[in-house]
Amino acid sequence: MERRKFIKKASLTSLAALIGTEIVFGSNMLKDYKPLALQENDPFKLFNLDNEMVILNDKPWNIEAKAHLLNDNITPNSKMFIRNNGVIPEDINEKTWTLTIDGESVKNKKTYTLNELKSKFKQHTYQLTLECGGNGRSEFDPPAKGNQWTVGAVSCATWTGVRLKDVLEDVGIKNDAVYIGYNAADTHLSGDATKEPISRGAPMRKALEDETLIAFKMNGKKIPISHGFPLRLVAGGWPASVSGKWINRISVRNKEHDGTKMTGTAYRVPKNPVSPGEKVKDEDMKIIESMPVKSLITSPQSGAIIKKGAALKINGHAWAGDLQVSKMEYSIDFGSTWTQCEINKPVNRLAWQHFNATINFPKVGYYEIWARATDSNNMAQPMLLPGWNPKGYLNNACHRIAVKVK
C-alpha cells in the first residue's frame, strides 16, 4: 500500500520516469488520478505468484494452483489459491488496527490492538488445510454458478496466532452463545459502503477448538495482503470462507450468524440428496461445516511419459476436514484394483497428510493413476462426481493423472 501513496505524491516528472516515457497531456490529469499504466494489475507481480498460477477472475481476485504446483508439504504464498469476494482493503495500518469482540453473547464488548493480542495471549503455530467450498465446481453437470475452480483451491500453510478461545475467554462469553461471525475491512464490488462482501463464521464448538486461530503470520512472515494482512481468522478443515481475511470484528452471537453469505444458498448444500439440476428451496439447504475427504497427486505432473520397465514414484497430499485420513490408495486400472500408498500422520490436527507410492506398469500404453483417500469414519472419495448441488460445492471426486508407458 506504500507504493500507492508514493504514486499519489509523485510529480509528473517522476510519474513519467516510472512509466518510462513522457505523459502527454499530463498537466491535465486530475491531482489524484493514477495513470492506467501505473494501476498495478498484474496479479503475478501484485501477489508474488508462481507464473503457472491460473487467474479465474480479476475483479474480485480469484486465483488457483494446478495440482503439480502444490507439491510442497507446506504451501508457499506463491502457490496458494486466492479467493476474494470483494475488494482488498487499502491503506492498512498495522499500528492502529484493532479487533473488537462484541455481539449478543459477550459479557462486555472489548477491543484489542494487534500488539495487545500478540503480547497478552500465548501464540500457537499450526499447519492448517484451507480449501474453498467450491473447489472442483467446474466438473458439475449441469454447471453450477460461480468461479469454476478445478482442483487448485486448496492449501496447507503454517499459521501463527492466538487461539480464538483464549481471546473469547478473556472477553467473557455468556452461556447462550451459539455462533461467532466475523466482519472485515474488504469492500463491496459495487462500491456500496453499506454492503459487506462476506461475513461468515462458525458454531461455538468450532470456534473454541485449539486450532482455530486469530492469525497474524503465515509461513513465519506477516500474512500477505491477498491472504488477509494483518489479521485472519483461520479455521482449518472447514470451507475457507470461514477463515475471514482482514478481520476487525468478531461477534459472539446468540443465534446462527446471519452475515453476508451465511444465508440463502451461499456455502450451503441440500439437506437431502437432489437430482442434477433440481431447484432447491432455501429452507431445504444446510450450512457446510467440515469439508469431505480428498486428495491430490502433486507429482508427477499429469502427462508424464516413462520408459517401459521403469518404476514411477508418485506423491501428494490427503485431507479430511475435521477428521484424519486413515487410508490412501491408488488404481491404474480405473478402479478395478486398488493398491495402498504409504501415508504420514498429520503434523498436527487439520494439517494435510503426505502420501507416496512406487508404481510398476504391466505393459506399454496409456494409463490413468487415480488416487483415493478414506477418512477415519470410513468415508472414501467417490470416483464419480458426488451428489449434485445447486452451487457446486464439495466435489471430492478422486483426482487422477495421465501417464504413458513407451
Residues binding other proteins (CB under 8 A):
19, 21-28, 35-37, 55-60, 139-143, 145-148, 188-190, 192, 195, 300-306, 310, 312, 368, 383-385, 397, 400, 402, 404
Q: Which is nearer to other proteins, 25 or 122 (CB)?
A: 25
Residue nearer to other proteins on the CB measure, 52 or 289: 52
- Smallest gap from Cβ 60 to other proteins, in A, equals 7
> Please, which residue, 73 or 302, has the CB nearer to other proteins?
302
DSSP assignment of 194-218: T--S---EEEHHHHTSTT-EEEEEE
Q: Scanning the structure block, which residue is given the C-alpha cell 514414484? A: 313
Nearest distance, CB of residue 188 and other proteins, angstroms: 8
CA distance 88 to 84: 8
Nearest to 257 by CA among 272, 245, 241, 246: 241
- Cell 520397465: give the residue: 309
- 35 vs 89, which CB is nearer to other proteins? 35
Shortest Cβ 374–other proteins spacing (Å): 19
Q: Residue 349's closest CA among 181, 267, 235?
A: 235
Please give the Cα distance from 313 to 333 (Å, whole number). Answer: 17
Pinpoint the alpha helices (H) of 187-300. 204-207
User: How distant, in Å, are the alpha carbons of 33, 38, 237 from that of 10?
Assistant: 11, 12, 45
Measured from the CB of residue 387, what is the shortest distance to other proteins in angstroms? 11
Q: Which three cell numbers stand for residue 127?
A: 499447519
Closer CB to other proteins, 260 or 326, in the complex: 260
CB of 338 to other proteins, least distance (A): 17
Decide whether 56 or 320 has the Cβ nearer to other proteins: 56
Shortest distance (Å) from residue 317 CB to other proteins: 20
**DSSP states along 341-401:** PEEPPPSSTT--EEEEEEE--SSSEEEEEEEEEEETTS-B--SS-----TT-----PPEEE
Closer Cβ to other proteins, 172 or 335, answer by number? 335
Question: Cell 466475523 appears where?
Answer: 182
Least Å distance, CB 349 to other proteins, is 32
